[in-house]
């Protein structure tokens, strides 16, 4: 009987960090191939299943260099999943200005620019990849990542795919003044809670400090909100798992991303960990 494989598909915009992600997965024991033709993916999986040394985890990079990418990808994706393999499609994205800076720093031409500008190439590629983005299990925005941070992000995904029975949760705090995060499934606004920023003794502290946590959590509305949020997750997470969703990213936002959202992410993490779920947290704007 063929053994089900753990498969990560890496795709997304040029310059968004796909190569770094593939190397990180390779360092963690995945058998990696970049730019494998889409139509050959099922045959390659069959070869991995028949390999005597037992390849169980593979990562494949696919992008616009593969000419038949769009015509065949939805059918291939459905075929592989129908065989029972544990597949996750990660779409890497970044803001246009970040991509422009990266191409400028490396002095590489954009693959879709032709005789035009890098910005024109980015615009064409973003439009062409809309369908692939819609099919992704998770979108990873690398705009604020350096190489080391991106490697750590991939290690988190590496740990989650090895334990596929329960959905992995990514909890993020952020500040609305710095923009909403793009790589998220659910965004909740907690700016209605009293703001520690306006308390002189707390302004310079963060939601990781006990004094700030006490200020936020002593409010009845905070505790009531967390109870309702937990009830919502208690209802929806099993339904997402039943539909085959392997991860869910929940982002909580306050004004600056240093106080209220940080506290709620930390408290929610402790509560959800009691269910033995895999939880990863990120405080995006805590140091800004």
Mean pLDDT of all residues in the chain? Answer: 86
Go through the chain and tell me how many residues it has: 288
What pLDDT was estimated at residue 111?
80
Q: Which of 175, 185, 91 is nearest to 140 (CA)?
A: 91
Q: Which of 157, 162, 163, 197 is nearest to 177 (CA)?
A: 197
Q: What CA–CA distance (Å, rounded) separates 265 from 282? A: 9
Average pLDDT of the residues in 249-270: 95
Q: What is the CATH number of domain 6-164?
A: 3.40.50.300
What pLDDT was estimated at residue 1?
45
The pLDDT > 70 percentage for the chain reads 90
Average pLDDT of the residues in 98-104: 89
Q: What CA–CA distance (Å, rounded) separates 155 from 145? A: 14
What pLDDT was estimated at residue 251?
96
Q: Which of 57, 63, 5 is nearest to 31 (CA)?
A: 57
Task: List pLDDT tens digits, range 178-215.
Answer: 999 988 899 999 999 999 999 999 999 999 999 999 99
Higher pLDDT pick, 94 / 25: 94
Average pLDDT of the residues in 134-163: 77
Task: List pLDDT tens digits, range 132-141.
Answer: 888 888 899 9
Tell me the whole-structure pTM to 2 decimals. Answer: 0.58
Average pLDDT of the residues in 246-262: 93
DSSP sequence for 208-243: TSHHHHHHHHTSHHHHHHHHHHHHHHHHHHHHHHHT
What pLDDT was estimated at residue 168?
82
Higher pLDDT pick, 35 / 189: 189
Average pLDDT of the residues in 68-92: 82
Average pLDDT of the residues in 144-164: 70
Least confident of 71-75, 77-81, 114-118, 154-158: 154-158
Beta carbons of 230 and 268 less than 8 angstroms apart: yes
The pLDDT > 90 percentage for the chain reads 38
The residues of the chain that CATH labels 3.40.50.300 are 6-164
Q: What CA–CA distance (Å, rounded) separates 70 from 59? A: 19
Is residue 53 predicted with pLDDT exceeding 70? no
Distance of CA 236 to the CA centre of its chain: 19
């Amino acid at each position: 009987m063929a053994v089900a494989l753990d498969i990560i598909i890496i795709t997304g915009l040029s310059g968004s960090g796909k190569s770094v992600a593939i190397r990180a997965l390779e360092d963690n024991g995945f058998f990696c191939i970049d730019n494998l033709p889409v139509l050959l993916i099922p045959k390659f999986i069959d070869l991995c299943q028949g390999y005597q040394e037992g390849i169980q985890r593979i990562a494949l990079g696919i992008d616009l260099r593969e000419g038949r990418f769009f015509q065949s990808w939805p059918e291939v994706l459905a075929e592989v999943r129908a065989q029972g393999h544990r597949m996750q499609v990660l779409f890497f994205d970044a803001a246009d200005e970040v991509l422009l800076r990266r191409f400028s720093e490396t002095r590489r031409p954009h693959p879709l620019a032709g005789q035009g500008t890098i910005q024109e190439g980015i615009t064409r590629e973003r439009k062409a990849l809309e369908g692939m983005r819609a099919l992704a299990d998770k979108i990873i925005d690398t705009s604020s990542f350096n190489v080391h941070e991106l490697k750590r992000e991939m290690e988190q995904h590496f740990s989650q795919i090895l334990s596929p029975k329960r959905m992995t949760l990514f909890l993020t705090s952020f500040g609305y003044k710095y923009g909403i995060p793009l790589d998220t499934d659910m965004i909740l606004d907690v700016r209605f809670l009293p703001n520690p920023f306006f308390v002189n003794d707390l302004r310079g502290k963060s939601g990781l400090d006990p004094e700030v946590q006490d200020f936020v959590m002593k409010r009845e509305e905070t505790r009531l909100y967390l109870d309702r949020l937990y009830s919502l997750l208690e209802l929806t997470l099993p339904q997402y798992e039943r539909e085959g969703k392997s991860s869910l990213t929940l982002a909580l936002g306050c004004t600056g991303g240093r106080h209220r959202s940080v506290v709620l992410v930390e408290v929610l993490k402790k509560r959800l960990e009691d269910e033995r779920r895999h939880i990863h947290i990120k405080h995006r704007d805590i140091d800004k």
